[in-house]
Amino acid sequence: MDPRQRPYRSVLYIPGSKERALDKARSLPVDAIIFDLEDAVAADEKDNARETLKAALAQGGYGARVKIVRINGLDTPWGHADAEAVRDMDADVVLLPKVGGAADVDALAAITGDLPIWAMMETPRGMLNAAQIAAHPLLTGFVMGTNDLAKELQTRFRADRLPMMSSLGLCLLAAKAEGLIAIDGVYNAFKDGEGLAAECAQGRDMGFDGKTLIHPAQVEIANTAFAPSEAEIDLARRQIAAFAEVEASGQGVAVVDGKIVENLHVATAREVLAKAEAILALQAG
Ligand SMILES: CC(C)(COP(=O)(O)OP(=O)(O)OC[C@H]1O[C@@H](n2cnc3c(N)ncnc32)[C@H](O)[C@@H]1OP(=O)(O)O)[C@@H](O)C(=O)NCCC(=O)NCCSC(=O)C[C@H](O)C(=O)O
Ligand SMILES: [Mg+2]
């Protein structure tokens, strides 16, 4: 499947140290999992977590879910050992935290070889260097680290995320320019479904592919928000049909629901249908 068409609606963090959560994830309807060795794992558990995760991935059972391992930074006491361990794990992607520039990605690639790399975008320097990070040949995805970003920017958390908008926008521009997957940051209040749904809707409107999550209760909300709705699917079908009709009569513009439809709208409509089909295929196993 074209990686751009693969669904990444729900991307769940699981602490690499928590065996019960590692097991539970085998049955959760998530599109991807971030197996975390960084912030979700206490310092004195780091070495054990690496071994626990290695065993869980060797055991398998995660099906079609994309397996992403977030290591500790290479400037920490655990980063190098994590990177060396990931090389031998059954992982699809290695996720590097607090990426500041393309040189950070190079340093990881020197250890992990040709394993695809995703970058946590969560520092002011990373924001300013988003374009060069996105252009790295091994980089295939961005994950927004909105907690670290808020800390570094000394912003307040607001429901409208206004203080975060320039950073989210910069990363989206860089990701789209290079054809990367772009995943939005976490919503910390994991019992607040309404707040999560609103933030997912905002992220989807902005162009993110999905949302990082911290608790199983968040999964269905993200899966719904980042999937094409029935109304979008219906509109896409009608736009394609209407355009085909006018095109056959030598015209370049159709009108559907009082709005123009040109070939670029048809391209978007085809993407909507392809995404819906990819979700169905994933669900069918
Ligand atoms: C937030 C939690 C600490 C809550 O844990 P807990 O109190 O155990 O929740 P529940 O009792 O409601 O759990 C119910 C069952 O679900 C399983 N569970 C819980 N969380 C997960 C999970 N993330 N993945 C899989 N399974 C999970 C429990 O084991 C229970 O199972 P069972 O007993 O079988 O019914 C906890 O949810 C948690 O630790 N979440 C992850 C936190 C995390 O990963 N944080 C780091 C990522 S956020 C970040 O760093 C972003 C970025 O870097 C930034 O800067 O923004
Ligand atoms: Mg972070």
Assess whether 220 and 236 both reside in one domain: no
70 is in an annotated binding site: yes
153 CA → ligand 2 middle, Å: 13
CB-ligand 1 contact for 26 (6 Å cutoff): no
Q: Which domain holds residue 209?
A: 10-225
Assess whether 239 and 217 both reside in one domain: no
Counting atoms of ligand 1 from 1, which one is nearest the CA of 151?
55
259 lies in some domain: yes
206 lies in some domain: yes
5 lies in some domain: no
- The per-residue b/e assignment along 196-218, b for 16 or more CB within 10 angstroms, e otherwise, is bbbbbebbbeeebbbbbbbebeb
* pLDDT at position 282 over 80: yes
Residue 262's CB: how many other CB atoms inside 10 A?
13
ipTM over cut 0.90: yes
Q: Indicate which residue's Cα is closest to atom 10 of ligand 1.
A: 215
Assess whether 216 and 235 both reside in one domain: no
pLDDT tens figures, 186-237:
999 999 999 999 999 999 999 999 999 999 999 999 999 999 999 999 999 9
51 is in an annotated binding site: no
Domain end: 225, 240, 273, which one?
Answer: 225
**Domain count within the chain:** 2
Assess whether 82 and 187 both reside in one domain: yes
Determine if residue 10 is left, alpha or beta; phi over 0 gives left, psi from -120 to 50 gives alpha, anything else beta.
beta
4 lies in some domain: no
* pLDDT at position 276 over 60: yes
2 lies in some domain: no
pLDDT tens figures, 203-216:
999 999 999 999 99
254 CA → ligand 2 middle, Å: 46
232 is in an annotated binding site: no
Assess whether 221 and 234 both reside in one domain: no
CB-ligand 1 contact for 41 (6 Å cutoff): no
pLDDT of res. 5: 74
Q: Indicate which residue's Cα is closest to atom 27 of ligand 1.
A: 21
pLDDT tens figures, 6-39:
999 999 999 999 999 999 999 999 999 999 999 9
Q: Specify whether the CB–CB gap between 116 and 93 falls below 8 A.
A: yes
Q: Specify whether the CB–CB gap between 31 and 7 falls below 8 A.
A: yes
> What is the reported pTM?
0.97
Per DSSP bridges, beta strands 66-70 and 139-144 are unpaired
Assess whether 55 and 108 both reside in one domain: yes
CB-ligand 1 contact for 145 (6 Å cutoff): yes
> Which CATH number characterizes residue 111's domain?
3.20.20.60
101 CA → ligand 1 middle, Å: 30
Domain end: 225, 245, 261, which one?
Answer: 225
Counting atoms of ligand 1 from 1, which one is nearest the CA of 143?
52
DSSP assignment of 52-118, as one string?
A: HHHHHHHH---TTSEEEEEPPPTTSSSHHHHHHHHHTS--SEEEESS--SHHHHHHHHHHHTTS-EE
Counting atoms of ligand 1 from 1, which one is nearest the CA of 147?
56
Q: pLDDT-based confidence at 4, cuts 50/70/90? A: low
Assess whether 32 and 126 both reside in one domain: yes
Assess whether 212 and 237 both reside in one domain: no
CB-ligand 1 contact for 214 (6 Å cutoff): yes
Domain end: 225, 249, 269, which one?
Answer: 225
Assess whether 221 and 237 both reside in one domain: no
